[in-house]
Structure 1
């Protein structure tokens, strides 16, 4: 079975995440997409994160009607801060018959060379990349990005460009703005019921 791993803090998960996950499950050569909830991204301030369990529960609520998309708490069990390469090794040991690959946005591809052991990741795993609108097209990493785009393990997938920001959602909930169209209905109900992101 071929599994695409879609990592994120999902703080909160929104319709953009679901659109990308579903597109990869339906249009890339993957059998399933696992949405891996990261307990703490070393590049993000932990203080802005909702509790791990609540973010995982929102991913459960979002994916329960999508049999090809599964929530994963695999990183909850690993030492923090964790790195993707460690998660991949752990999953491969736990599921030796599965073939794992990564799903990432084009913006993450540009910084892949900064990841821990990125050469080993590229050597051993396929990477499926969905497009993002670049805020700085003349970025100094553009050449690096182009070189990676042509790498045999990297597959550029013509997925919808969805520019929805979890930060934007959190900030607007705090301002009492209506963000319901940006969230799966069950996720909005969960956030509203628990009074999340209001302070």
Structure 2
């Protein structure tokens, strides 16, 4: 089975995440997309990051009607700080019959060369890239960096997927909830109910 790994803090998961994940599951050769919830890094200040359990539970609520989308807490069991290359090794050992690929936005592809052992990841795993609206900083890429970005985009393991461009951020959702705005259309109904019931993000 071919599994796409979609990493995120999902703080909270919103309809933008679901649109991308479902598009990848339905319009690429992936059989499933696993929503990998990134655990709280104990070395970093917690700030507005909800506990791991709550963020994972919201992913469960959001994906229960999508059989091709699965929540994953695989990184909860790994030592922190963790690197994607280590997660991939762990998953391959645990699920030897699955083939794992990464799902990332175009903005993350631009910084892939900064990842630990990124050459190993590219050598062993496909990467499915969804489009993002480029910022001015991205359009001014020059010289070596621009060449590196072009080489990554043209890499045989990198697949650019014509997915919808979704510019919804969890940061915007948290800020809006704190300000008392109605953001229900941006969240799956069950996720909104869970957040509202628990008074999350209001402080």
Q: TM-score range by the shorter chain?
A: over 0.9
8 Å CA contact retained: 1:9, 1:41: no
Whole-angstrom distance in 2 between the partners of 1:82 and 1:183: 28
What CA RMSD, in Å, does the superposition of the two structures yield over aligned residues?
1.5
Which stretches in structure 2 are left out of the alignment for 5+ residues? Answer: none
8 Å CA contact retained: 1:40, 1:81: no
The alpha carbon displacement at 1:50 in A equals 0.5
The two structures have a TM-score, normalised by structure 1, of 0.96
8 Å CA contact retained: 2:5, 2:103: yes
The two structures have a TM-score, normalised by structure 2, of 0.95
1:35 matched to 2:35: yes
Match of 2:189 among 180, 185, 192: 185
- Equivalent residue for 2:130? 130
The alpha carbon displacement at 1:147 in A equals 1.1
The alpha carbon displacement at 1:142 in A equals 3.2
- Equivalent residue for 2:155? 151
Matches within 5 A, 1:36-51: 36-40=36-40, 45-51=45-51
The alpha carbon displacement at 1:174 in A equals 0.2
Q: Deviations over 1:82-101 (max 9, x none)?
A: 11000000000000010000
How many residues in Structure 1 have an aligned counterpart in Structure 2?
A: 199
Which stretches in structure 1 are left out of the alignment for 5+ residues? Answer: none
The alpha carbon displacement at 1:145 in A equals 1.6
